[in-house]
Amino acid sequence: MRVTSKVPGKCILFGEHAVVYGFPSISMAIPLNSTCIVEENKLNSIELNFKTINKKYEGSNLVDIEQKIPSNYSQFILGLNSLGNKFDIEIKDIRIELSSDIIPNAGLGSSASTSIALISAVSEFYGLNLKKADIFNFALEMEKITHGNPSGIDHTTCLYGNILFYQKGKPFHIVYPPDDFQVLITYTNQEHDTKEVISNVKRLKDEKSHLFDSIVDKIGFYTEIAELELVSGNYEEVGKLMNFNQDLLSQLNVSNETIDKINEIALKNGAYGSKLTGAGLGGCVITLGEEKELKKIAKIFKSQGYWNFLTTQDKNGAIATK
Ligand code: MEV
């Protein structure tokens, strides 16, 4: 038997960081995918193959593999162990191959997407019949290793696809704009460390709580208005709100020179709005505008060495099939 799962990445349109503290956010699943293939292994061992980085780990059991694997991949072992313990199954004699189109550590949900791909495929392989809410719990647990205090927005978006209005601890809902508008996603060529950026923001909260509260409060306010503008198809207004959000993210000290430069070029060339997406201090920028303008801006970024991707939302979310 062979199971394949396919899980999208994500970008955050509004509300990163504030969402960690209970404020609303809007995210969008994007069609860059992580894929996990699980099949029987006739060699009586476990093989864990991270195809994207061309690294393969083999062992007679999970403990064996855990000793060989670098610590930044230990979240995958934790996920497999939790799954095995919860359902009382011994995970053995299988080949797991994980790959992803998503740039790692760039704010596009690579960690959430690969974790969900793994849990979805392995649980389908063992016929565990997990619901999306169960997969969410396993994958979020895995994320705590790399991330510290995840809000759950990345996992929810990668699992369910679409554009989501998400607030921690509350039911999320899908946002339906009148059409599939496009966004341009541009990589700053700088990896970020999400855990570190989140702890910098937490320090600001601890040291300057009044300032912090007023910033995240405004982010939450703009996010709520942004939802109304999105469903009305007022993309020019949505763009303005993105610029306000970017300004507030700068005040949280999560922007940097490259992000500011990319935003400036985008706005100078006719974009409605442009902001960092995800944790910031590197990673990616998202830009909203008319398709013609976005294509022009994409060319400029490409000529300056910035990888970019013009896209609309992914509507499928996570899928695992036999
Ligand atoms: C990361 O994609 C978004 C952050 O808000 C962290 C989180 O919500 O878990 C920075």
Strand ranges for 94-162 from DSSP E: 94-100
CA of 106 to the centre of ligand 1 (A): 12
Question: Which pair of structure tokens corresponds to residue 214?
Answer: 């007023």
Question: Which pair of structure tokens corresponds to residue 133?
Answer: 């809410």
Cβ(16) to ligand 1 under 6 A?
Answer: yes
Q: Under DSSP, is residue 20 helix (H, G, I), strand (E, B) or coil?
A: helix
Cβ(278) to ligand 1 under 6 A?
Answer: yes
Reported as type and span, the H/E element at residue 68 is helix 62-68
Question: Which pair of structure tokens corresponds to residue 183?
Answer: 């966004």
Question: DSSP string spanning 153-205?
Answer: HHHHHHHH-SEEEE-TTS--EE---SS---EEEEE-S----HHHHHHHHHHHH
For 303, counting Cβ atoms within 10 Å of its Cβ (0-12 exposed, 13-18 middle, 19+ buried), the class is exposed
Ligand 1, atom 10: closest residue by C-alpha: 279
Angstrom distances, CA of residue 302 to CA of 175, 262, 266, 312? 31, 12, 12, 19
Q: Under DSSP, is residue 16 helix (H, G, I), strand (E, B) or coil?
A: coil
CA of 18 to the centre of ligand 1 (A): 8
Reported as type and span, the H/E element at residue 9 is strand 2-14
Domains and CATH numbers, the chain: 2-173+315-321 (3.30.230.10), 177-311 (3.30.70.890)
- d(Cα 200, Cα 276) in Å, to the nearest integer? 16
Angstrom distances, CA of residue 191 to CA of 197, 203, 258, 261, 307? 12, 21, 12, 17, 13
Cβ(8) to ligand 1 under 6 A?
Answer: no
Which distant-in-sequence residues (6+ apart) come within 8 Å of 214 by Cβ? none
- d(Cα 80, Cα 92) in Å, to the nearest integer? 10
Cβ(161) to ligand 1 under 6 A?
Answer: no
What pLDDT is recorded for position 284?
98
Please identify every residue annotated as catalytic: 154
CA of 150 to the centre of ligand 1 (A): 6
The residue whose CB lies within 8 Å of the most ligand 1 atoms, and thus the one to mutate among 19, 21, 254, is: 19
Torsion of CA 243, 214, 279, 66, to 10 degrees: -160
Split the chain (322 residues) into runs of 10 and give each run's mean pLDDT: 97 98 98 97 90 91 90 90 94 94 94 96 95 95 83 97 97 97 98 92 97 98 98 98 98 98 98 98 98 98 97 97 92
- d(Cα 275, Cα 283) in Å, to the nearest integer? 11
Residue type present at position 313: Q
Q: Under DSSP, is residue 77 helix (H, G, I), strand (E, B) or coil?
A: helix
CA of 280 to the centre of ligand 1 (A): 9
Query: Among 229, 285, 223, which Cα is nearest to 254's?
Result: 285
Question: Which pair of structure tokens corresponds to residue 234?
Answer: 């007022």
Ligand 1, atom 8: closest residue by C-alpha: 151
Nearest-atom index, ligand 1, CA of 278:
2
